[in-house]
Amino acid sequence: MIRGVTAALVTPLTPGGAVAEQDVARLVGSVREHVRALLANLSTGEGWALTDSQWLAMLAATLRHADGVPVLAGIQRATTRQVLDLALEARELGAAAVVATTPYGPQVSQQAAYRHFEILSAEAGLPVIVYNESALSNNTTELSTLLRICRLPNVVGVKESSDDPAAIRRLIEAAPGVPVCQGMERLLLDSGPVDGYVVALANVEPAFCARLFDAPPAARQAMAAELAAHCDRYELDRDDWYRPLKTALAGRGVLSTEYTVADLTCAELTAADGGEAP
């Protein structure tokens, strides 16, 4: 399901904060032939900031325009209950799998992280892909815990975004029994024999991402300069890397606006204070 290239989609928004369905259709249409799956509502899609109604609208729109390409539902919520509730919605809409972090907070123990995925595995009714990161959840899943999670019945993969190429190599060497994908563009060539890429770059350079993944190892290394140039061009090292992606897509006519959730929240706050919204 996550072998090959998965496009971690941006979330197109209207000036009023709704999901822009025609933009979603154009975006999906521009990447669909080059990727093996589409991922809505994870970090590149500002999933942590979307309201539940925006989350549902983006997932539903992606599914409507996927034309047979599997659609994964990213879920970024603070608690197991919140994640499970959205996972059940994703199942009803027809998603192929859910991609989720651990619960949020430094207080989350290794056993709590395991229990979180145990519950999702048993109750979500969909395959579960582990989003292994620390920036949003503010905790770290140890290798031994991650391997236990990978042995759960409905856990089918790991999206590795810990920003540590040694960590993903250790995971692969430990033979987790599920596909392991790299989610950080600058580490694609330093991660060992990954099963796939789950990347934001596929929004704007899907053909390059597919060509990079399919290339033999020697040819792939020869593409390092091109990969670095794309990372620089689209400013993928920014904390808000999805913003320049939206700018690029708007410049191509794929998106009709460049709005992020933060832009719209700022506009609402400005208007509430009696000022002029941007």
| pLDDT tens digit sequence for 144-182 | 999 999 999 999 999 999 989 999 999 999 999 999 999
CATH number of 4-272: 3.20.20.70
Residue 182 in tokens: 């790299």
Average pLDDT over residues 249-259: 98
- What is the rounded CA–CA span in Å between residue 179 and residue 189? 17
| Angle ∠(205,210,215) on CA atoms, nearest 5 | 125
Tell me the whole-structure pTM to 2 decimals: 0.94
| pLDDT tens-digit series, residues 103-141 | 999 999 999 999 999 999 999 999 999 999 999 999 999
- What is the rounded CA–CA span in Å between residue 84 and residue 79? 9
Q: In this structure, which long-range contacts are made by residues 259-265, counting pairs with CB atoms below 8 Å and at least 24 apart in sequence?
A: 259/13, 259/14, 259/15, 259/17, 260/13, 260/46, 261/11, 261/13, 261/17, 261/46, 261/49, 261/50, 261/54, 262/49, 264/13, 264/15, 264/17, 265/49
- What is the rounded CA–CA span in Å between residue 276 and residue 217? 54
| pLDDT tens-digit series, residues 61-87 | 999 999 999 999 999 999 999 999 999
Give the residue extent of every domain in the chain.
Answer: 4-272
- Residue 181 phi/psi, 5° resolution? -120, 145
